[in-house]
Structure 1
Amino acid sequence: MALPAMLRSLRHHNYRLWAAADLISVTGTWMQVLALNWLVLSITHSATSVGLGLLLQAVPTLALAPLGGAIADRLPSRRVVMAGQTAQMALSALLALLAAGDPSGPMGLYAISFVSGAVTALTSPSLARFGMEIVGPEDLSNALSLGSVLSSGGRILGMSMAGVVIAVVGVPGAFAANSASFAAVLAALMLMRHRELHEVPKAAPGERGVVAGLRHVLRTPWLLVTLGLAFVLGSLGRNYQVTMAAMSDGPLHGGAGGYGALSVLFAVGTVLGGLFAASRSRLSLALLPVMAVACSVGQMASGVAPNLAVFGALMLPIAAAAVVIDTTVSTRVQLDSPGGLRGRVIAAQGMVGAASGAAGGPALGALCDLLGPRAALVLAGAVSVTAALAAGAALLRLHRKGALARTGPDQAPPALPRGPAGRRMAVR
């Protein structure tokens, strides 16, 4: 029976394995995120200490992502992914043992968080490259879209299960469950049919190394515009965990319950955005500034929302647009970059995401404290609208000059040979 276009990636045997493993893995990840934050908070009684742990996981991406990209463009993706997932499994198991020993301070937890961030930085580009090997270029955007839906579902499921697991068996049980979830990913990798993988070209000898990747990014105008817009949106337009909390605690008077409800609505919006992106046959660069303007205007409107219900209703389209933006950027970065440099371009995208998160959270928090959350949302939204319009104008000029990339699902390059080769589409 033919699958709907929205689910076309599921016709691939390998992707069906990967999708099931993805859901299990993301669920485990969010169980660990909540358990780790709770454990650090219970030890230190300091929200700042929790933030430091999150920062320690993000810092390695800024330092090691270029090396991870070079690894992705040179070594077999499947082997790198298996090594990374095995390492993360061991680190989660170590967290479980450390938590079972009733730690008196957070330093051991911080150390494991830092190492986990380093493993992620070194293997994430290979994980992303492996996504194309699973489904091929024609279904990549659909696979990324479905991956965002699975990630949202896994996030909701993991956050829900974490509370139950911690209450029943304690924090170590949540870490142990996450460690076990990596077994699903490793099993999926081993059960994949090698003959159905789509080979992606590796870097030529003269194209290897971090410098070659950086040179390509700096010499590709459409890529600079895209990553620049992604940075602005990721820093000022996307840190809703900060602004939702500030609005709920402040002018909307929603309290902790209101913040929880807003978080659920935001997650539902991400599912809707993923389904919309999955239904489209192509995600073009032209869609990027349009969705960016829509998301940013919604952000400005949320700043003047009269009550919690209206603010929550605005979270749905804002979150949906955010997912479409992310999926479009990821799709174009992968499909419109040379195969031998793709891992390093993906790494550059990862660095932009890490930098925007690291810069945006404190910046929006400071704006909320200085101007109030309403003014912060309106101001940040206005800056994001300006950036989106500027990016749209720049992309239009590049299009008229013929300087945009020419590849994609509807302008596909010659078919790559199929055969043995050797994600996260978004596992971690």
Structure 2
Amino acid sequence: MRAGGGRNSRFLGVALAQTAQKTEVPGSAWQPLREPVFRALWIAVLAGNAGTWMQTVGAQWLVVSEPDAATWVSLVQTATTLPVLLFALPAGALADVLDRRWLLLGVQVGLFAVAATLAAVTAAGRVGPALLLVFTFLLGCGQALTLPSWQAVIPEIVPHDQLPSASALGAVNTNLARSAGPALAGLLVAHFGSALVFALNALSFAIFAVALLRWRRPPRRPAGHPERFGAALRAGGRYVRFSPVIRRVLGRVLLFVLPGSVVWGLLPLVASRELRMGAGGYGLLLAALGVGAIAGALLMPRARRVLSTNRTIVATGVVYGAALLVIALVPHRYAVPPALVAAGLAWMMLVSRMNAAMQLFLPNWVRARSLAVYQLVFAGGQALGAFAWGQVAGAVGLRPAFAVAAVLMSAGALTVRRWPVHTHENEDHSPAVFWAEPHLMLQPHLDDGPILVSVTYRVREADVSGFLAAMRRLRGSRQRTGATRWGLFRDGAEPGRFVEVYLVPTWEEHLRQHESRLTGEDERIERAVIALAEGPPEVRHLLPAEHSD
């Protein structure tokens, strides 16, 4: 996801802002556009997303006359999406370790250089298929680095209660670009060639960089020294692993995207084989999806008031499944476009609801890493699903493939009773520093580890049952913020004495628990445990004997 824009983009931003001011009600879909920074960056991202589609069309057009053109065309798409699968997690770690604004700015400058070089080489007639793939892959790497950082800065530029609307506007952004980008690229390539398209793509990076420079981000004082890349990557993986809410959201996304990707994978074949429509007809079908997505974004505020998260999962799954069934049973050019409008609406509402659930739940210290995992699951599910549905269609036919996908989509939605999503949107995930500073006679190095932390509680017999239940919640907090192993033990000689022990990889990791990783919800959980104990707990830090001073 990238950003850029020109006179038309500025005009679009003004028009959208004016529309928002005229029609806005509390919680409306347009409300985040009143924030000047969000509006400027959103417009930049819109132009950049359109540039991504234009870049792809221009690159594919360059290889259509090559021998084995089908292979080269598919490789262009692979070179665009593969970096997201390869580098999403490292990109998320970098976005949490480094200053996100400067990271975005540096990436845009690098992408401008790559895209401008590609435009110059193409204009000189010196770009071949292999070199084109190299440039395409490099641009895809920039997209992989940009996306987690951009997603992670959204909570910094819109109020907390507007995050769902901002997420919906992100889906509008993507679908507007998907609808307009290929059509504009086709027109430009036909009249001026691919070099102009590549040059406009380079311009979009420059515009995004200017928008970032104009963003006067308040200075942020980092807690301690910067986190190291490898440790940050592992910490992000632990957070996702030990966060039931995040795991359930990712599972619901996968259950929806795997059957839903049949549309993105097989729609060209539906247009050509079933509906006997040419390239223009295929563009019409894509536009129907985009119209549905935009309508879904406009309905999101009202849907959030009427439907809970789990009811949204059921409703969108049933609607999308019904749309797939129409394509399977009534493949007519007057029936399929309305079905795709419904599918686009359901897709947008589910994806934006899950993205908003992630944004509302995640603490800032691990936001980009967790959103990178979300993008990895989303993109991987689409890629694997599209490949799988291609194999199914080849084996049993196009219509049966859509029928099977419809059944799986509806069945997945109905599993929500067994596997619901609990978003806990009212929890406090803002930073909270409430642990006392450790006072030690030995001064460990930051790399010393593992560190064994023991916490001793004294509990009355009448409170033991409630204490054990509270400790189970505390276990998750410890593991999300750094503990690799955790245990709770009861003294055999003194039954009222309980000892909690947990292992942290290094002293640096444990200091980060003290300084930056705990949230208001972690504090609430820990205070609930302490309230069931007699007096304050006794905390001890056990250090590796051979590495301590």
CA distance in 1: counterparts of 2:337 and 2:366, whole angstroms: 41
**One-letter identity of the residue aligned with 2:64:** L
Stretches of structure 2 that go unaligned for 5 or more consecutive residues are: 1-20, 433-549
Deviation at 1:20, TM superposition (A): 2.4
**One-letter identity of the residue aligned with 1:338:** P
Q: Deviations over 1:77-130 (max 9, x none)?
A: 111111122222222112212322324631111111222222222332111101
Are 2:108 and 1:85 equivalent residues in the alignment? yes
1:398-413 correspondence runs (5 A): 404-407=422-425, 413=429
Are 2:370 and 1:345 equivalent residues in the alignment? yes
Greater Rg over alpha carbons, structure = 2
Match of 1:246?
A: 269
Match of 1:187?
A: 210
Task: Tell whether the 8 Å contact from 2:320 to 2:342 is kept in structure 1 after alignment.
Answer: yes
CA distance in 2: counterparts of 1:306 and 1:120, whole angstroms: 36
**One-letter identity of the residue aligned with 1:357:** Q
Q: 1:374 aligns with which of 399, 407, 415?
A: 399
CA distance in 2: counterparts of 1:134 and 1:44, whole angstroms: 49
Query: What's the Cα RMSD here?
Result: 2.8
CA distance in 2: counterparts of 1:200 and 1:323, whole angstroms: 36
Deviation at 1:2, TM superposition (A): 6.9
Stretches of structure 1 that go unaligned for 5 or more consecutive residues are: 397-403, 417-428
CA distance in 2: counterparts of 1:167 and 1:388, whole angstroms: 44
CA distance in 2: counterparts of 1:202 and 1:344, whole angstroms: 19
Match of 2:36?
A: 13
CA distance in 1: counterparts of 2:414 and 2:104, whole angstroms: 38
Q: TM-score, normalised by structure 1?
A: 0.86
Q: TM-score, normalised by structure 2?
A: 0.68
Deviation at 1:61, TM superposition (A): 2.3
Deviation at 1:35, TM superposition (A): 0.7
Task: Tell whether the 8 Å contact from 1:284 to 1:328 is kept in structure 2 after alignment.
Answer: no
Match of 2:87?
A: 64
Q: Deviations over 1:220-255 (max 9, x none)?
A: 233223212322332321342332222222233334
Task: Tell whether the 8 Å contact from 2:80 to 2:136 is kept in structure 1 after alignment.
Answer: yes
1:79-158 correspondence runs (5 A): 79-103=102-126, 105-158=128-181
Q: 1:50 aligns with which of 73, 81, 103?
A: 73
CA distance in 1: counterparts of 2:395 and 2:221, whole angstroms: 52
CA distance in 1: counterparts of 2:302 and 2:54, whole angstroms: 30
Match of 2:474?
A: none
Match of 2:408?
A: 383
CA distance in 1: counterparts of 2:225 and 2:76, whole angstroms: 35
**Matched length:** 406
Match of 1:293?
A: 318
Deviation at 1:173, TM superposition (A): 0.4
**One-letter identity of the residue aligned with 1:225:** R
CA distance in 1: counterparts of 2:302 and 2:153, whole angstroms: 22
Deviation at 1:9, TM superposition (A): 0.6
**Secondary structure, in 3 states, of the residue corresponding to 2:418?**
helix
**Secondary structure, in 3 states, of the residue corresponding to 1:209?**
helix
Match of 1:307?
A: 332
Task: Tell whether the 8 Å contact from 1:225 to 1:391 is kept in structure 2 after alignment.
Answer: no
CA distance in 2: counterparts of 1:354 and 1:7, whole angstroms: 27
**Secondary structure, in 3 states, of the residue corresponding to 1:406?**
coil
CA distance in 1: counterparts of 2:127 and 2:221, whole angstroms: 49
Match of 2:347?
A: 322
Task: Tell whether the 8 Å contact from 1:203 to 1:340 is kept in structure 2 after alignment.
Answer: no
For the structure 1 residues 278 and 105, does the alpha-carbon distance in structure 2 shift closer, same or farther, using more than 3 Å as the test? farther
For the structure 1 residues 200 and 361, does the alpha-carbon distance in structure 2 shift closer, same or farther, using more than 3 Å as the test? farther
**Secondary structure, in 3 states, of the residue corresponding to 1:395?**
coil
For the structure 1 residues 97 and 239, does the alpha-carbon distance in structure 2 shift closer, same or farther, using more than 3 Å as the test? farther
Of the structure 1 ranges 249-258 and 371-380, higher mean CA displacement relative to structure 2 is found in 249-258
For the structure 1 residues 124 and 355, does the alpha-carbon distance in structure 2 shift closer, same or farther, using more than 3 Å as the test? same
Q: Which has the higher strand share?
A: 2
**One-letter identity of the residue aligned with 2:55:** Q
Q: Higher relative CO (CA 8 A, sep ≥ 6), structure 1 or 2?
A: 1
Where in structure 1 do 4 or more consecutive aligned residues deviate above 4 Å?
197-208, 278-284, 411-416
Q: Which has the higher helix share?
A: 1
For the structure 1 residues 205 and 245, does the alpha-carbon distance in structure 2 shift closer, same or farther, using more than 3 Å as the test? closer
Task: Tell whether the 8 Å contact from 2:361 to 2:429 is kept in structure 1 after alignment.
Answer: no
CA distance in 2: counterparts of 1:21 and 1:260, whole angstroms: 24
